[in-house]
Amino acid sequence: MKTAILILLSIVICSSAQNLKWSLENAKLYNFSHFMNEFEKKYDNEQELQFRKNVFETTLKKIHEVNANPKMTWKAGVNEFTDRTDEEFGKQFGYNKALSFKNHKTPNFKVNKQSKRSLADVPNIVDWRDRGVVSPVRNQGRCGSCWAFATVATVESHIAIQTGHLLAFSEQQLVDCAPNNHHCGGVGGCEGSTQSLGMSYFHLVGGMVARDDYPYTAKDGECQSKIPKVASIDGFHQIRTNDYDAILEGLANRGPLAISVAATSWKIYQEGVYNAWDDCGADVNHVVVAVGYGESEEGKFWIVRNSWGESWGEKGYIRLFREKDSASVNCMINNSPADGSGCDGDPSQITVCGICGMYMDTSYPLGGRLGGRFA
């Protein structure tokens, strides 16, 4: 009888241990078995399991180092990406740098220029989520479609600001249909593009289709061009490169902005104001959406929406370090601006400013109206 009780007790204890969920409080107890159970990880064979275990433990060591560093104003944590290498993780980004530079040099899309408004009346805190014009965070999956997700999320917000209606538009429309006009590395769709080309496409074809009408599949597909459009924009505005004041003014007075960032080091972000300048670097590779800015005991920050689902970061968001003013902006040199998809004549290096290079490439849509069944 005692033996049976002991066996049952052992099973209960083991089961409880396996069900341990990651938190900062139990960080020292958490291990690979807990991770596999929490995120329902399954591997094809013993060799892959051991490889993933090694990656997990290396990443977990980095998490502990960050959390023990008093200079960090953020906390690292375990998430679904903890068993993936940086190279694997980077494949899901999708910002095509070379294509962006080509667009800046020889634009073939409609760009409206707007003069800056004064910063005198810019409020100390702006968060467009509080105004009901920001849609729920979505997950791009293992497709390099961040550019499509950032484009759609930004356009959704600006349509809501203009019309009072927050609709869900289709990322898959962009993945399948938006062309790569300069054929830089043969990219597009899940292989990457830019937010500027996404907005340009929406303008040129007469608008966006509903997400329900053209669902996301996380893979390249054939363009479904006959689905009725439900809204449209007049064009887009591209903010001058590395212009802190214009970004601040844009967020305060215009709405959310599509921005480009160096995001490889974001894999372990959990909460707080991200200030890991050395880890972030200048290799811009991802597109996200700035939805506001603020300040706390941890310092001033930008509020940034990602496309990796709500289980990552602060319910799908990250707060990035923000300088006190434009005179305090830090800049870096990106020595590999055309990695993976270069175009002839691309620069050998560029200057990117702000943490993770977030001031380099910023844009937002202009105008906006409902159409189709929502008109």
190 is catalytic: no
Q: Where are the beta strands (DSSP E) in the chain?
A: 74-76, 126-127, 231-232, 235-239, 257-261, 269-274, 286-296, 299-305, 317-321, 331-334, 350-353, 362-366, 369-370
Q: How far apart are CA 117 and CA 363, in angstroms?
A: 16
* Residues with Cβ within 8 Å of residue 324, at least 6 apart in sequence: 300
Catalytic annotation on 286?
Answer: yes
CA atoms 31, 33, 34, 38: torsion sign: positive
Angle (CA) 324 326 332, round 5°:
100
Residues in the chain: 375
Q: Which of 103, 203, 286, 334 is catalytic?
A: 286
- List the catalytic residue out of 79, 275, 306, 334: 306
Q: Which of 146, 177, 184, 356 is an active site residue?
A: 146
Tokens of 347: 């620069």
143 given a catalytic annotation: no
> Cα 115 to the chain's mean position, in Å?
27
Q: Determine the Cα–Cα distance for residues 35 and 153; give it in Å rounded to an integer.
A: 31
Under 8 Å between Cβ of 154 and 233: no
Running DSSP on this structure, what letter comes out for residue 307? Answer: S
Q: What DSSP line would sit under 143-184, residue for residue?
A: SS-HHHHHHHHHHHHHHHHHHS----B-HHHHHHH---TT-S
Q: Where are the alpha helices (DSSP H) in the chain?
A: 2-18, 32-38, 46-67, 86-90, 97-105, 146-163, 171-177, 195-204, 244-253, 277-280
What is the chain's alpha carbon radius of gyration, rounded to the nearest angstrom? Answer: 22
Q: Which residues are catalytic?
A: 146, 286, 306
